[in-house]
Amino acid sequence: MTFKEVLYSRRAVNFFDPDKDVPDLLLNKMIEMAAQAPSGFNIQPWSLIVLKEQADKLRLQQHAWNQQKVSDAPITLIVLADTEASKPGNPFLEKNFREMVNSGAMAEEQREWFDGVCESLYGASEARKVAFACKNTGFFAMSLMLAAKSLGLDTHPMDGFDIDAVREEFEIPANYWIPLLISVGYFKSDQTLTPPKWRKTIDEIIVRFD
Ligand SMILES: Cc1cc2nc3c(=O)[nH]c(=O)nc-3n(C[C@H](O)[C@H](O)[C@H](O)COP(=O)(O)O)c2cc1C
């Protein structure tokens, strides 16, 4: 599949074949591909909870507008965005700084500057923390869906769920936002996909305000 074909054939599919499993190897490949997504200072504030057990998917579904695809799909992902990812002391921020020093992208003496930039750019307020976590995790989530399509899988993103209830049900720590769920599997062959949805035109997308 060309990249253009991947872009144009990805759809939010409502019906998954519950009898068609996704092998771990394929899921891992999809995650590995999506992990190439860019992020501010390469902080990568994303994580995934992978639900495969029917009982777990049903626990999620009850807090997700009872959307059937959550449990029909062989896998449903809870996508997490760490609002504390840019906070000094976060293990991945530490790892990131070490990697930058090791690769020569940053000098050891720039530590204080790096922490200051992270704080002022990404951690200055609650809104900024959530924005940082969610915008970067959005790139990762989109990459997951495109990677899935390129591997012959179908997906469905969802934000129709009760974030507080999902947090409580799966004991998700307070530092994570939950921007969306993504069901992953194979489109059910006896169903018909709805026609492609409308999209904004270039003229509708490009704006300026001065
Ligand atoms: C962040 C996000 C949340 C969404 N939440 C839901 C949802 O909870 N339930 C649903 O049926 N569709 C949901 N959708 C699917 C959109 O309605 C769908 O992507 C859009 O209509 C475009 O259709 P397409 O993806 O097939 O091109 C969501 C999509 C995104 C990106």
pLDDT tens-digit profile of 116-135?
A: 999 999 999 999 999 999 99
What are the φ/ψ torsions at residue 149 (nearest 5 degrees)?
-60, -45
Atom 16 of ligand 1, nearest CA residue = 12
Rounded CA gap, 11 and 193, in Å?
Answer: 9
What are the φ/ψ torsions at residue 135 (nearest 5 degrees)?
-65, -45
- The C-alpha angle with vertex 163 and arms to 160 and 166, in degrees rounded to 5, equals 100
Q: Is 38 close to ligand 1, i.e. is its CB under 6 Å away?
A: no
Residues β-bridged to residue 155 = 12, 184
Q: Is 142 close to ligand 1, i.e. is its CB under 6 Å away?
A: no
CATH (residue range 3-96+122-205)? 3.40.109.10
Mean pLDDT of 89-107: 94
Q: Which of 60, 145, 154, 158 to mutate to test the pocket of ligand 1 (most atoms within 8 A of CB)?
A: 158
pLDDT digits (tens, 9 = 90+) for 3-56: 999 999 999 999 999 999 999 999 999 999 999 999 999 999 999 999 999 999
Domain boundaries, the chain: 3-96+122-205
Predicted TM-score (pTM) above 0.95 = yes
* 134 Rama class: left (phi>0) / alpha (psi -120 to 50) / beta: alpha
- The C-alpha angle with vertex 190 and arms to 187 and 193, in degrees rounded to 5, equals 55
Going by C-beta distance under 8 Å and a sequence separation of 6 or more, which residues neighbour residue 23?
none
